[in-house]
């Protein structure tokens, strides 16, 4: 049976969406080849770029022009340069460099997303390098993955840190602990922005050497404490402010409730729990980045998902938090929740 094709409905969106990974891979390859960092010295012709990056002539012109077409490069008088977006986020020389996240997308997420149908059928993570229980300690044994993972986290905390330093009123507190704070990038930004704060990181013991190295490289050796531990089996250190950044979404709902309860117990009256994640809107329809982020967590964690602010409020109230406020951050791609323990 044939049906009439409606000529007014263009197939273009399907053709573009179905191969949207072409653009993603071009961006990731450009980061891997350090194209944007090379072009930070100034615009260059195609033969110059080819020479500097060691590319074959067959694909290089198409590659560069495709990057122009998707808005990452400019081309004027035959010279290619970084568009403002690429200059700000894809040049290794900038603090705002997001290359670590692109490297993780390229090396880990791209292969994993080829198994989305399997993940949807089984409900099981599809990432290689996860332990049988999907545990982070096993992930931490894979050095190449771990390098991508830590630089991806730094890429995010490098953007979120200054915003968190600005939007939350830190003046009423003397100390904080970033739980799941990895190698301390966020803690470093917060203590530099608010020198009166005593900062600490709580994370798995195998993060400690990376933390020590990172603090030394930032000139902050000895300034921020590291508490090694497992947040499911160890008590959280007592402190005035606890941060859970990109932590709750890694775990299932019962585990999240458990972590929120532990935070409540570790805080004094008047203390605050800060949570940031890529939360969905309450109707689960607007924030496509969050919805796809949630599918990503299906593929890379045993129980994680993004969640709504309404869900988060229920867990917080269940633990005993009374005053809860929410602020959109990072251009409304993430939500920061502040929950105060009544004092």
Ligand X SMILES: C[S@@+](CC[C@H](N)C(=O)[O-])C[C@H]1O[C@@H](n2cnc3c(N)ncnc32)[C@H](O)[C@@H]1O
State the catalytic residues: 249
Reading the block at residue 65, the tokens are 């022009």
> Is 70 in a helix, a strand, or coil?
coil
| Cβ at position 326, least distance to ligand X in Å | 17
- How far is Cα 114 from Cα 242, in angstroms, rounded to an integer? 37
Q: Contact at 8 Å (CB) between 271 and 241?
A: yes
> How far lies 147's CA from each of 55, 208, 277, 315, in Å?
26, 14, 22, 33
Beta carbon nearer to ligand X, 46 or 250: 250
> Is 22 in a helix, a strand, or coil?
helix
Phi then psi for residue 138, to 5 deg, are -70, -40
Reading the block at residue 75, the tokens are 């081309």
Reading the block at residue 32, the tokens are 């891997």
What stretches of the chain adopt beta strand conformation (E)?
44-45, 73-76, 79-82, 175-179, 198-203, 224-228, 241-245, 272-277, 323-329, 334-340
Beta carbon nearer to ligand X, 153 or 263: 153
Q: Contact at 8 Å (CB) between 73 and 86?
A: yes
| Cβ at position 151, least distance to ligand X in Å | 11
120: part of which helix (H) or strand (E)?
helix 116-122
Question: Taking CA 203 as the corner, what is the angle to CA 201 and CA 205, rounded to the nearest 5 degrees?
Answer: 120
Beta carbon nearer to ligand X, 271 or 302: 302
Binding residues for ligand X, rule: CB under 6 A, are 136, 153, 156-157, 180-182, 203-204, 207, 230-232, 245-247, 250
| Cβ at position 11, least distance to ligand X in Å | 38
| Cβ at position 180, least distance to ligand X in Å | 3
| Cβ at position 71, least distance to ligand X in Å | 26
Beta carbon nearer to ligand X, 126 or 296: 296
Beta carbon nearer to ligand X, 30 or 274: 274
């Amino acid at each position: 049976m044939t049906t009439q094709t409606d000529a007014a409905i263009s197939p273009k969106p399907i053709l573009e969406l179905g191969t949207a990974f072409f653009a993603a891979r071009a961006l990731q390859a450009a980061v891997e080849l350090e194209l944007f960092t090379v072009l930070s010295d100034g615009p260059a012709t195609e033969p110059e770029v080819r020479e500097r990056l060691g590319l074959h002539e067959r694909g290089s012109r198409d590659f560069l022009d495709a990057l122009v077409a998707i808005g990452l490069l400019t081309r004027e008088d035959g010279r290619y340069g970084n568009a403002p977006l690429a200059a700000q986020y894809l040049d290794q020389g900038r603090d705002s460099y997001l290359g670590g996240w692109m490297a993780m997308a390229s090396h880990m997420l791209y292969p994993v997303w080829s198994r989305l149908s399997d993940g949807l059928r089984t409900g099981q993570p599809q990432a290689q390098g996860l332990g049988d229980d999907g545990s982070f300690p096993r992930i931490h044994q894979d050095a190449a993955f771990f390098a991508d993972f830590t630089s991806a986290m730094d890429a995010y905390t490098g953007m979120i840190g200054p915003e968190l330093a600005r939007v939350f009123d830190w003046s009423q507190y003397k100390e904080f602990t970033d739980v799941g704070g990895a190698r301390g990038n966020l803690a470093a930004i917060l203590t530099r922005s608010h020198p009166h704060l005593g900062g600490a990181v709580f994370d798995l013991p195998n993060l400690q050497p990376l933390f020590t190295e990172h603090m030394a490289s930032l000139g902050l050796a000895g300034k921020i404490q590291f508490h090694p531990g497992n947040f499911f089996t160890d008590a959280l250190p007592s402190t005035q402010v606890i941060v859970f950044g990109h932590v709750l979404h890694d775990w299932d709902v019962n585990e999240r409730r458990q972590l929120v309860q532990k935070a409540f117990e570790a805080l004094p009256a008047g203390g605050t729990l800060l949570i940031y994640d890529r939360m969905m809107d309450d109707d689960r329809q607007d924030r496509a980045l969050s919805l796809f982020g949630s599918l990503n967590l299906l593929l890379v964690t045993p129980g994680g998902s993004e969640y709504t602010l309404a869900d988060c409020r229920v867990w917080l109230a269940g633990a005993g938090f009374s005053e809860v406020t929410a602020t959109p951050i990072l251009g409304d791609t993430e939500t920061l929740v502040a929950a105060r323990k009544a004092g």
